[in-house]
Amino acid sequence: MLRYEMICVGAGPAGLAAAIEAAKNGVQVVVFDENDRPGGQLFKQIHKFFGSREHRAKERGFNIGQAFLDQARETGVEVTLNAVVLGIYENGAMNVMIGDQVKQVRAQKIVVATGAAENMVPFPGWTLPGVIGAGAAQTMANIHGIRPGNKILMVGSGNVGIIVGYQMLQAGSRVAAIIDAAPKIGGYAVHAAKVARAGVPFLMSHTIKQAHGKECVTGATVIQVDSSWQPVAGTEKEFEVDTICIAVGLNPTTQLLGMAGCKMTHVPTLGGRIPVHDLDQETTVKGIYVAGDVSGIEEASTAIIEGRIAGLAIAHRLGYMDDGTFRKEREKQSQSMKGLRSGSHGERRAKAKEYLNAIMPAAI
C-alpha cells in the first residue's frame, strides 16, 4: 500500500489550491483526478474574473488555471491523471483506479474537492440529441473549438446560463433567448447587460414546455409560469433552434464523502446535500477535508480560498506550521473570502456557511 501525508481528490481550483498551500509548507501531496487533464472546469472559463487583485480579478479563468499548474509543479505537488478514486475507507485508506489498475493507497489527511454536477430539468423531448448541459456547450466551444449548435435556447439565467450564452455568441452561434422560471434574472447584472446589448432577449417567468424534433432538436415551445410556478395556458412561444442548453444549477458531488461516513446536511442556498464542515474545511470525519463546490456551490474564486484554508489546516495538523502562524494565515484567507461573500449575491452564501460552521466549531 502506497502511503502519503496528504491526498487530494480532484485537480480543479479547490484541490490544486489545497495541494499547493500544503506542499508550500512541506507536506508531501498527491492529487488524483479522473480526467486526462488537470484544472477542473477552470480551463473552460474564458471570461475575466471578478474580485480584487488578491483574487486575481480581471484575469481569465484558463490563465489562472495555467498559473496553478505551474505553481503545483514548482511546489512539488504530484498530480496523477486518469485516476478515479473508487472509495474512501477507514483511517484514510482509499482505492484508486489508475488507468485500468486498482491501487490501494493511504493518507494521513484527505481533501475531497470533487466539485459538482449539473442539475437537469425534464420536459417532453429532453432526451433528443441537441439538448445539452451548459457545461457541455462550454466544453465543446472552449476546449474543443466546435460550436454546439447554430441557434441556441438557453434555459437558466444564473451566471452559468448567461456566461455560457455569451460564450456561444463568441463561438459564432446565435442565442435565441435566455429563459428562466424565476421572476428575476439570477446572474450578475453586468453579465446580463453584455448579452442583452448583443440582442439576446431574456424571458423571465418562462419555462420550457417541450423540445421539438424527431431525430434531433428542431425547435422548442416555452410557456409563461405564474407566481406559483404553474404554466399559464395560451402564453406559449415557439423558437426555431437546433440546440437547447440547460443551465439550471449544480449539485455537489458528495458520493465519496457519504461513503466515508461524513455527516451531511441540506442547505438549499449551497446547492443541496453538502457535508457539514468547520472553518478549517474539516468534515465530521477527522482528517477528511472538503473544498470548493463539493462543500457548497459557489465560485472558482471562493473554491480557491477554501482550498487554501484546507491546505493550511493540514500543514498545521501535520506539524509543519505553528499555531500562531496558522491562525494568522487562516485569518488572511478569511478576510479575503469575506470580500467575495458580500453584496446581494454573496451574502446568502456567507450566512449559509456561517450556519454550517456554527454546527461544528473549528479545532483551534
Partner 1 sequence: MRIEDHPVLGKFEKGQKVRFSFDGKSLEGFEGEPIAIALRSNGVLIHRYTARRNEPRGVFCAIGRCTDCIMVVNGQPNIRTCVEPLKADMVVETQQGRGPAKESEVSHA
Partner 2 sequence: MTPDSSLTGFLTEEELKEGPGIPSAARRGKGPVAVIECLEDIPCNPCESSCKAGAIVVGEDITQLPHLDGDKCIACNTCVHNCPGQAIFMVDESLPGGRATVMMPYEYRPLPAEGDGVIALDRAGQVLGDATVIKIRQTRRMDRTATITIEVPKKWSMRARAIRLKT
Report the alpha-carbon distance of residue 122 to residue 15 in Å, rounded: 32
Does residue 60 belong to the site contacting partner 1 (CB under 8 A)?
Answer: yes
198 lies in the binding site for partner 2 (CB under 8 A) = yes
Q: Sheet harboring 131-133: ordered strands across?
A: 131-133, 243-246, 151-155, 174-180, 202-204
Q: Please, what sign has the CA dihedral across residues 198, 138, 159, 347? A: negative
The interface region with partner 1, picked from 146-154, 264-272, 296-304, 353-361 by CB under 8 A, is 146-154
Residues 215-234 that bind partner 1 (CB under 8 A): 215-216
- Give dist(CA 180, CA 222) in Å, integer: 10
Strand partners, 60: 48
Which 8-state DSSP code applies to residue 161?
H
Distance CA 223, CA 343 (A): 32
Of positions 17, 77, 79, 140, contacts partner 1 by CB under 8 A: 140
Indicate whether 362 belongs to the interface with partner 2 (CB under 8 A): no
C-alpha cell at 309: 484554508
Q: Is 34 in the site for partner 2 (CB under 8 A)?
A: no
Q: Does 23 bind partner 1 (CB under 8 A)?
A: no
Pick from partner 2, partner 1, none: which does 325 bind, CB < 5 to 8 A by kind?
Answer: none
- Rule CB under 8 A: is residue 198 a binding residue for partner 1? no
Report, in Å, the least distance between residue 239 CB and partner 2. Answer: 17
- Residue holding cell 456567507? 350
DSSP state letters, 20-32? HHHHHTT--EEEE
Query: Is position 93 an interface residue for partner 1 (rule: CB under 8 A)?
Result: no
144 binds partner 1 (CB under 8 A): yes
| Residue 67 touches partner 2, criterion: CB under 8 A | no
Q: Is 350 in the site for partner 2 (CB under 8 A)?
A: no
Binding site for partner 2 (CB under 8 A): 47-53, 57-60, 63, 169-170, 172, 178, 183-185, 188-202, 204, 339-346
